[in-house]
Amino acid sequence: MGRKKIGLVGGGQIGGILALLATQKELGDIVVLDIPEMESYVKGKALDIMESTPVLGCDAKVEGTSNYEDLAGADVNIVTAGLPRKPGMSREDLLSTNVKIITAVAEQLKKHAPDSFNIILTNPLDAMVYSFKKITGFPKERVVGMAGVLDTSRFCSFVAMELGISVEDISATVLGGHGPTMVPLFRLATVGGVPLTELLPMDKIEAIADRTRKAGTEIVKLLGNGSAFFSPAASAIAMAESYIKDKRRVFTCAAMCEGEYGIDGYYIGVPVLIGAGGVEKVLEIKLTEEEKAMLANSLEAVKKATAETGL
């Protein structure tokens, strides 16, 4: 069979961490691609990781390149290419620049890796996944956006910090677009099977939900130059691993809805099953009237950003 091949399109902060995590988990051989001006830089990152493999005790071939032909036959591509946010910028501020970048990437991957499973991280996330799908024409099962995994992870982190409880025992779901309109379903959140609503007062839970919505912006402000990279990389690797190993895990991801949740023809954060077939199923949750209204509000933001791509 040979090892799987993983293409990482974009060799910046997230790209480097993706390469390290994929190596540590021995998910396959890795090719980190960036623009020609950055080729030497990504070759350096790849070589640095390769030189750590004897210490880490893992086998993987890691290469850097600027040539899309080196991604031929990739099983999985994780796309982080695009401008990161700076303080004062919304995800939508990146749209016009990043849609051009995503278009170029999509055209190349369609040509060189037509059978790949593709995970998109570029912001504004929901609109960029939609653009990638439109341009490649790949089936919806093989194009997905990393958002809800990260938003859910952030929500769970804040709950753990508040309660002083292991993150391993916290389960939650965050639906909707990746941005300030996301919808944390705290009535479904549990801590070791105990409903979160029985462990924290509603005002505390609302504060955690609010912090989750603004979590990316909080990190952008703290870093001062760029946006989060450790947590987005970890989230994308969890999705890639579920596909490569057919783990059939359930994550909230930006998936193409065709009628689910009353949404048709848009990418938005919903719970999905990821296995060897890619996004194999969208899981529908019965929402309360209030949650439906919040999801409808989130969809409006997604529709606006999607329309602005002009695709």
Task: Name every residue whose Cβ is closer than 8 Å to that of residue 272 and which is 6 or more positions away in sequence.
Answer: 144, 250, 251, 252, 253, 255, 279, 280, 281, 282, 283
Q: How far apart are CA 248 and CA 232, in angstroms?
A: 20
178 given a catalytic annotation? yes
- 95: exposed, middle or buried (C-beta count within 10 Å: 0-12, 13-18, 19+)? buried
Q: What are phi and psi of 135, to 5 degrees?
A: -75, -40
Residue 71 token pair: 């991604």
- What is the rounded radius of gyration, in angstroms, for the C-alpha atoms of the chain? 19
The DSSP secondary-structure symbol of 176 reads B
Cα separations (Å) of 27 from 15, 231, 262? 15, 18, 36
Are 176 and 294 in contact by the 8 Å Cβ rule? The answer is yes
Residue 290 token pair: 């209030």
Please tell me which residue in 178, 182, 213, 252 is annotated as part of the active site: 178
Cα separations (Å) of 127 from 122, 144, 145, 180? 9, 11, 10, 15
SS3 270: strand
Helices (H), 245-308: 289-308
Catalytic residues: 178
